[in-house]
């Protein structure tokens, strides 16, 4: 019975996720370059390591 409930919740979650709307808003309308990508990711890695 537990596996049936778990499977049903998985299927319902998959169906509901198809209806999600995600609007990507680029900060400051800047182009994403390798330099900005690296800068943002390095700051995240520094935050995680501290």
The model's pLDDT over 5-31, given as tens digits with 9 standing for 90+, comes to 999 999 999 999 999 988 777 666 667
Q: Output the six-digit token pair for 50.
A: 């501290």
29 in Cβ contact with 23 (< 8 Å): no
Q: Where are the alpha helices (DSSP H) in the chain?
A: 2-17, 34-49
Residue 2: pLDDT band (50, 70, 90) is very high
36 in Cβ contact with 30 (< 8 Å): yes
Q: Residues with Cβ < 8 Å from 30, sequence gap 6 or more?
A: 36
pLDDT at 33: 86
Which pTM does this prediction carry? 0.44
Average pLDDT over residues 37-47: 90
Measured in degrees and rounded to the nearest 5, phi and psi for residue 25 equal -115, 115
């Amino acid at each position: 019975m537990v596996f049936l409930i778990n499977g049903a919740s998985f299927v319902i979650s998959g169906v509901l996720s198809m209806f999600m709307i995600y609007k990507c808003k680029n900060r400051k309308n800047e182009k994403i370059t390798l330099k900005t990508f690296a800068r943002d990711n390095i700051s995240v890695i520094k935050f995680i390591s501290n």
